[in-house]
Amino acid sequence: MIRLDNATKVYKRGARPALDSVSVEIERGDFVFLVGSSGSGKSTFLKLILREERPTGGDIYVAGRHLNKLSAWRVPHLRREIGAVFQDFRLLPNKTVYQNVAFALQVIGKNRHHIQSTVPEMLELVGLSGKERRMPHELSGGEQQRVAIARAFVNHPPILLCDEPTGNLDPGTSVGIMRLLDRINRTGTTVLMATHDDEIVDQMRKRVIELRGGELVRDQDRGVYGLERV
Ligand SMILES: Nc1ncnc2c1ncn2[C@@H]1O[C@H](COP(=O)(O)OP(=O)(O)OP(=O)(O)O)[C@@H](O)[C@H]1O
C-alpha cells in the first residue's frame, strides 16, 4: 500500500538529509506508529507520501502509484486515496460540524443525495450525532479532532495519515481518539500515525517505525515507544 525504496530527501543542497535512504513497506490494513525525536524526519516521511514534497533520491509507491512518475494533474487523485489528520485539527472555522464533513465530499463531486446519507453515518461513527449544527469553536479539542477524522474518512480512503493527532489533547481524550482510529483500521484502512505520545504507543502495541536523524533505526511489530523502556 505504501513503499519507500531508499527514499531520501535533502531540502537544501549540502544540508544533511531530512530522510536518509529509508526503505520500508506498509501493507494494506497495517497500523503503524512513526516515532522519533523532533527533527528526525517524521513530517518529511508523511509529506513524501502525500506528494507535498518530492524525494531527492529513491522511489516512493503509494496506493499502486509510483509517485516519482506521477504528473501534477494526477496528484488530486492520489490525495483521494489518503485521509489526513493533523494535531491542529484544521477545520473550517465558519462551517458547522456537518458542513465541514460534507465539504470533503462536495469538492470531489459527490451528489447531494450521497452527501445527505453519508455525513450522518460518519458523524455517528465518530460519536458526534446531535452536534451537527455546532461550530468548531463550540466543541472540545477531542470533539474537533473527531470532526477532522470524520472528514478525513468520509470518502473511505484506503490510507489514513495522522500527524500527532493527540498532540493537543489530554490523555483521557487521546484514548478515545485512538479507539476511533483503531476502529477505522479494523475496517481495513491502513493507518500511519506520527506521534510523540509514548503512553499511547505503549498501550496499543502496534508496529513501530523509528527514525533518528532521518534514518530508519527500528521497525518492530507490537512495539513500544522507546526500546529502553522495555
Ligand atoms: N521545508 C524545509 N526546508 C528545509 N529544511 C526542512 C524543511 N522541512 C524540514 N526540514 C528539516 O528536515 C529535518 C526533518 O524535519 P521533519 O519536520 O521531517 O521532522 P519531524 O520528525 O517531523 O519533527 P517534529 O517532531 O518536530 O515535527 C529537520 O532538520 C528540519 O529542520
Name the CATH topology of 2-220: Rossmann fold (3.40.50)
Tell me the mean pLDDT in the region 97-121: 96
Give me the pLDDT at residue 122, please: 96
Give the pTM.
0.95
Domain boundaries, the chain: 2-220
Any atom of ligand 1 within 6 Å of the Cβ of 18: yes
Tell me the mean pLDDT in the region 91-114: 96
127 C-beta neighbours (distance < 10 Å), count: 15
Nearest ligand 1 atom to the CA of 19 is: 14
Tell me the mean pLDDT in the region 87-99: 96
How far does residue 129's CA lie from ligand 1's centre (Å)? 38
Nearest ligand 1 atom to the CA of 36 is: 21
CB 130 within 8 A of CB 138: no
The residue whose CA has the least distance to atom 17 of ligand 1 is 43
Q: How are strands ordered across the β-sheet holding 19-26?
A: 19-26, 2-9, 57-62, 65-66
Any atom of ligand 1 within 6 Å of the Cβ of 9: no
Q: Is the pLDDT of residue 227 over 80?
A: no
Nearest ligand 1 atom to the CA of 53 is: 1
Any atom of ligand 1 within 6 Å of the Cβ of 43: yes
Give me the pLDDT at residue 2, please: 98
Distance CA 161, CA 191 (A): 6
Any atom of ligand 1 within 6 Å of the Cβ of 25: no
If one residue of 8, 10, 11 were mutated to test the ligand 1 pocket, choosing by the most ligand atoms within 8 A of its CB, it would be: 11
Supply the ipTM of this predicted assembly: 0.96
Distance CA 6, CA 95 (A): 42
What are the residue ranges of helices labelled H in 36-170?
Answer: 42-50, 75-80, 97-106, 112-125, 141-153
